Amino acid sequence: MPQPLVEQRSIDVVPDEERHGTAFSQFTLWLGANLQITTLVTGSLAVVFGGDVVWSVVGLLLGNLVGGGVMALHSAQGPRLGLPQMISSRAQFGVRGAAVPLALTVVMYIGFFASGSVLAGQAVGKLTHLGPVPGIVLFALVTAVTAAVGYRVIHVLGRFASVVGALTFVYLGARLLHRIDLPQVLHQHHHFALPSFLLAVSLSASWQLAFGPYVADYSRYLPRTTSPRSTFCWTLAGTALGAQWSMTFGVLVAATAGAAFVDDQVGYVVSLGGTGAAASLLYLVIALGKLTINVLNTYGGFMSVVTGVSGFRGQRTLGSRGRALYVAAIMVLGTGLALLGRNSFLDSFADFLLFLLAFFTPWSAINLVDYYLISRERYDLPALTDPAGRYGAWRPGALVVYVVGLLTQLPFLSTSFYTGPLVGPLGGADVSWLVGLVVPAALYVVVGGRRARRLPPLPEAGHAAPAPSAATRAESPID
C-alpha cells in the first residue's frame, strides 16, 4: 500500500509494514547534508584561526572519522528501535529526566537553523535581488514547509542535494585549482602546531557529533532486518566524505583568499564559478544545500520538543496541526536569532560549535554505552513512555554522570568567552571533547551497569526487535 507523502508519525514506533528503503539512503542523505556552504566555512575556520593547510586537512579528516564514527553508531539504532533518536535517552535518564539533554538539543537545532539561515539568506537575497533579510525569511518559510511534510521528502531532497552538491564542488574545485598554485600553497602553509591541529580536529569532530542527537530520526523507517553494520558504514561514508570534501575546499579558499572570503563567504565562493547565469545557478545551489541541512535541524528540533513535552504530558502521538505549530515555533526562533546575529556570524559560529560540543559529547557517550554495552541493543519499548515503568521518571545516577561529564570538560575548553585553566599548559589546545567522551563513558559503565543488574530480566515481548504491526499498534503504549 503506498504511503502518504506527508508523514503521519512523530515519536511513535514505526511498525514493520511501514518500513522501507535501504541503508544506502543514509549515504546520500548525509553526503548531501554535508556538501554545503556551512561545512565549507567550518573547515575554513581551521586556517582563519591560525592553522596551516596540510595539517588542518589532516586534523579535519581525523575529526570527521572519529566524530563521524560516533555519529554513525547512533544511526545504527534507528532500524532496530524504529524510534527517533532522543526518545531512547529515556532509557538512560528516565522518561522525564531525558528532558535535560533534550532542552540542550533544541537549543542546538535552533542555533544551527540560525547559522545556516545567515548563509542561505545571503544566497537567496542575491538570487531574488531582495537582500539578505528578506532572503533569510523566505528561506526559513521554505524550510518549515519541507520539514512539516516529513521523512519521505527529506530523503528525496537528500538524494537530489547529494548529486547537485557533488557536481558543484567538482566544478568549483576545478575553478579554484586553476586560480591558485597548489604546490606553492602547500609548501608555504606547511608547519605543524599542536594547538592549531587540535582545533581542526575539534571543529570537524564537533560538526559530526552535533548530528548525533537526530541521526536515527532518518534511519528509523529502514526495515528492522537492515544490518546495523550497513547502516553504520553507509552513514559514516556519507557524512565523512561530504564533510571532508567541503572542509578541504574551505581550507584552500581561506588560505588563498584571505579577507575576501572572510568578509563575504557566499559572495566569494560564487565568484569562483563566474558571473551572470553561472552565479545565479550557484546561489540556487547554495540555497539548496542549506535547505537540506536546515530541514534536518527543524525536523530534529520538532522531534526533540515533542519527546520532551510528551514525557510530562503522556502524549504518544501528534496530529498534523500540532506538527505544524512545533515546526513554526522553531522557525520563528531560529529566524529571529539569524537576523540578530547575521553581522557577526563567523566568530560567533566558531564559538557556538566548540561550546556546543561540550554539552553533547557526554550525552553521546552515555547513550552509546547504555545501548551497546549495557542493554545490548534491547530496550523495553512500552516502558519508554511509562514514568512508572522499567526506566522510571528520573534516573539521578545518569544525570549526575552527565553533569560530571560537562564539568570535567571545563578546564580544557577554549572559546572567546571562556578559557579553562588547563588550556594554557597544553599550548592553547582544546581537548575538551575527548574528555567529554571518555569520562562519562567510563562512569556510566559503572553506574548504568549497577542499575541494570538490579532490574528484572527484559521480557522478550518488549525488547527492541519486534516493532508492533498495524493490527496491534492501537494496543501498544508506545504508539
* CA–CA gap between residue 22 and residue 8 (Å, rounded): 20
* Residue 472, pLDDT score: 38
Tell me, yes or no, whether 398 lies in a domain. no
The C-alpha atoms of residue 53 and residue 317 are separated, in whole angstroms, by 50
How many CB atoms sit inside 10 A of residue 199's CB? 25
Chain-centroid distance of CA 15 in Å reads 25
Distance of CA 405 to the CA centre of its chain: 20
**Does 402 map to a domain?**
no
Q: Is residue 54 part of a domain?
A: yes
Q: Which of 55, 27, 31 is nearest to 43 (CA)?
A: 55
Which structural domain range is residue 154 located in? 16-347
Q: Can you tell me the distance from the alpha carbon of 363 to that of 365, in angstroms, rounded to the nearest whole number? A: 6
Work out how many domains the chain is built from and give that number: 1
The residues, ordered by sequence, that sit 6+ positions from 203 with a Cβ below 8 Å of its Cβ are 42, 43, 45, 46, 60, 63, 350, 353, 354
Using a 10 angstrom Cβ sphere, with 0-12 exposed, 13-18 middle and 19 or more buried, the burial of residue 119 is buried
Establish how many alpha carbons lie within 13 A of residue 91's alpha carbon, considering only the half-sphere containing its beta carbon: 28
Q: Within the chain, which residues score under 50 in pLDDT?
A: 1, 461-462, 465-479
The answer to whether 336 and 140 have CB atoms below 8 angstroms apart is no
Torsion sign, CA atoms 346, 349, 353, 354: positive
Find how far residue 27's CA is from the centre of its chain: 14
How much is the pLDDT for 470?
42
Apex 157 CA angle, 3 and 172, nearest 5: 165
Chain centroid offset of residue 150 CA: 17
Are 213 and 86 in contact by the 8 Å Cβ rule? The answer is: yes
Task: Give the three cell numbers for residue 232.
Answer: 553504520
Cα 371 to the center of its chain, rounded Å: 19
Give tens-digit pLDDT for 54-101: 999 999 999 999 999 999 999 999 999 998 888 899 999 999 999 888
Q: Residue 295 domain-assigned? A: yes
Query: Do 288 and 78 touch, CB atoms closer than 8 A?
Result: no
Full DSSP string of 378-446:
---TGGGG-TTSTT-S--HHHHHHHHHHHHHHGGG-B-SS-B-TTTTTTTT---HHHHHHHHHHHHHHH
* Whole-number Cα distances in Å, 221 to 14, 21, 115, 198: 6, 8, 29, 37
CATH code (residue 166) = 1.10.4160.10
- Which pTM value belongs to this model? 0.88
Q: What is the pLDDT of residue 349?
A: 63
Instruction: Give the model's pLDDT for residue 467.
Output: 44
- Per the domain annotation, does 417 fall within a domain? no
The answer to whether 199 and 51 are in contact (CB under 8 A) is yes
How far, in Å, CA of 56 to CA of 180, rounded?
18
Q: Does 188 reside within a domain?
A: yes
Place of cell 519508554: 384
Which residue in the block uniquely carries the three cell numbers 578559557?
419
Backbone angles phi, psi at 419, to 5 degrees: -130, 125
Is 381 a domain residue? no
User: 95 is written with which cell numbers?
Assistant: 522518561
pLDDT digits (tens, 9 = 90+) for 348-375: 665 665 677 788 889 999 999 999 999 9
Q: Is residue 284 part of a domain?
A: yes
